[in-house]
């Protein structure tokens, strides 16, 4: 199983290649997946230090005191996130097909194919 850093490196390399090839569906889905991973790593705001009154309104006092480390994801969590993205898109493809919107369905199907190839 890949580590989180290996996932990110793979996704960034694939994104770079998709951009070079001007593959819009692949570029879109890879950017969205990287953003989803970044969002999952975002820390809970409840652990952030409180704001203090001072020179800068709403700042935390002291050098580095406003820093909060990002969450560390497990490889299983990243794999689950990728699977969730695939499932959401497959459900949307099914819905678009039912509604007769085949152009939208084919665009999402192309994104699913990109994710399945990872």
Residue 118 or residue 62, greater confidence: 118
Entry pTM: 0.80
Over residues 9-39, the pLDDT tens digits come to 999 999 999 999 999 999 999 999 999 999 9
Residue 41 structure tokens: 């790593």
Pick from 12, 17, 23: which is nearest to 107 by CA? Answer: 23
pLDDT at position 2 is: 87
H helices, E strands: number in the chain = 4, 0
Give pLDDT tens digits for 44-94: 777 666 656 555 555 555 555 556 778 899 999 999 999 999 999 999 999
pLDDT of residue 50: 62
Distance, first Cα to last Cα, the chain: 12
CB proximity list for 76: less than 8 A, separation 6 or greater? 1
Q: Which two tokens stand for residue 38?
A: 């970044």
């Amino acid at each position: 199983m890949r580590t989180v850093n290996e996932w990110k490196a793979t996704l960034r390399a694939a994104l770079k290649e998709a951009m070079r090839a001007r593959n819009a569906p692949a570029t879109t889905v890879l950017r969205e997946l990287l953003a989803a991973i970044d969002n999952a790593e975002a820390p809970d705001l409840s652990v952030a230090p409180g704001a203090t009154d001072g020179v800068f309104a709403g700042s935390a006092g002291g050098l580095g005191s406003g820093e909060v480390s990002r969450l560390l994801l497990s490889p299983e969590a990243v794999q689950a996130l990728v699977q969730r993205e695939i499932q959401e898109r497959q459900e949307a493809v099914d819905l678009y097909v039912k509604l007769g919107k085949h152009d939208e369905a084919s665009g999402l199907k192309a994104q699913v194919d990109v994710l399945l190839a990872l």
